[in-house]
Structure 1
Amino acid sequence: MTRDVYEYAVIRVIPKVERGELINAGVLLYCQPRGYLCARVELDPARLRALDPHADIDGIDRALSAYELACGDDPGPLAGEPLGGRFRWLTAPRSTIVQTGPVHAGLTADPVTELARLFDKLVRI
């Protein structure tokens, strides 16, 4: 079974950037050899409200869904970018409420299964 290199980043929500407290809300995974780029997100409103009772849940949900849309068949303004370019753009450092953590790498024979595993381990803990 062939295993290929993949890269991933955790998508985080930091409701009060100045405090630095965060919750993991998704995973972005890119596997260049397999032509695979996908994001999976899920916001836990109760956990978010524990950090910021006044957080804009709807706005944060929209920002999170933008990661999924950017990986799909109709990526909007990223339509002309190859998958690797999209991944780099999505993981670029930013100081907003929704951002990615550092990029990590691994080996996988199945990026779909690996995304599900990482999501369960890093977001649904």
Structure 2
Amino acid sequence: MSKLAYQYVVLRCVPRVDREEFVNVGVVVYCQATDYLDVAWHVDRERLRAFDPRLDLDQVCEALEFVEGVCAGDERGGAAAQAPLTQRFGFLKAPRSTVIQPGPVHGGVTTDPARQLQHLVEKLVS
């Protein structure tokens, strides 16, 4: 089995940008060698409510479903979903000042990008 280079970003929910507090809610993994781009996410509603009871948790989930659409290349991701994978990952990793923000880009090697994604979600989100 050959080792494949991959990159990933952790998606953070930032309920109040002014406080700079966040909760990890997802991970996006990109492996150029296998044309793999996917996201896995989990929203802990109770934990996020503790940060800000006024947070619209349905909006948080909708934003994460948008990320799913961008990764899958379907209509949920709008125009961004039509770009090549490299550009889609670039769009998803770009800093933004919204409730869902990507953390820094990290990299590694794996033999199975999908299994690596599940491992990262278990380790960093769940």
Question: TM-score normalized by structure 2?
Answer: 0.95
Helix, strand or coil at the partner of 2:18: coil
Partner of 1:39: 39
Flag the 1:20–1:85 CA change in 2: closer, same or farther, 3 A. same
Q: Deviations over 1:15-52 (max 9, x none)?
A: 00000110000000000001100011111100100100
User: Match for residue 52 of structure 2?
Assistant: 52
Q: Cα distance, 1:94 vs. partner? A: 0.6
| 1:68 and 2:68 are equivalent in the alignment | yes
**What is the number of equivalent residue pairs in this alignment?**
124
- Backbone CA RMSD of aligned residues: 0.9
Q: State how far apart, in whole Å, the 1-side matches of 2:73 and 2:89 are.
A: 14
AA of the residue aligned to 1:117: H
**Higher mean displacement: 17-26 or 78-87:** 78-87
Query: Could you say what secondary structure the match of 1:30 adopts?
Result: strand
**Which of 89, 107, 110 is residue 108 of structure 1 equivalent to?**
110
TM-aligned CA distance change 1:56 to 1:35, over 3 Å: same
- Partner deviation per Cα, 1:37-95 (whole Å, 9 max, x = no partner): 00111111001001001111111110111111111141431243110100001110111
| Structure (1 or 2) with the greater helix fraction | 2
Contact 1:41 1:65 in 2 (8 A): no
Identity of aligned residues (%): 46
Unaligned 5+ segments in structure 1 are none
State the AA in 1 paired with 2:59: G
Moved segments of 4+, more than 4 Å: none
